């Protein structure tokens, strides 16, 4: 499993964060998504054979949210 950390531009509400978390959890190859509202970070465990960090970032941006930074631990 790989780990992707996405830092979002600040969001106004926690329910927006939860919507992003739910959408990511539904993606193929995603194991666990931890959402940290206070720091605007999502930590995603995923299988690189099923999806990619770019595809997961696209899920977030397609929902209209701006990604400030990403990092992948392999």
CATH number for the domain harbouring residue 23 = 3.30.70.100
| Distance, CA of 35 to CA of 71 (rounded, Å) | 15
pLDDT at 11: 76
Contact 67, 29 (CB under 8 A): no
| Distance, CA of 36 to CA of 43 (rounded, Å) | 8
pLDDT tens for 52-69 read: 999 999 999 999 999 999
Phi, psi for 4 (deg, rounded to 5): -110, 130
pLDDT tens for 39-53 read: 999 999 999 999 999
pLDDT band at 5 (very low <50, low <70, confident <90, very high): very high
pTM above 0.85, yes or no: yes
Q: Considering the chain, what percentage of its residues have pLDDT values greater than 90? A: 81
Total count of domains within the chain: 1
Domain interval for residue 47: 2-73
């Amino acid at each position: 499993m790989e780990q992707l950390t996405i830092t979002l531009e600040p969001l106004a509400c926690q329910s927006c964060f939860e919507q992003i978390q739910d959408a990511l959890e539904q993606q193929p190859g995603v194991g666990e998504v931890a959402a940290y509202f206070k720091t605007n970070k999502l930590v995603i465990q995923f299988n690189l054979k099923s999806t990619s960090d770019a595809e997961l970032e696209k899920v977030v941006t397609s929902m209209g949210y701006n990604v400030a930074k990403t990092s992948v631990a392999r």
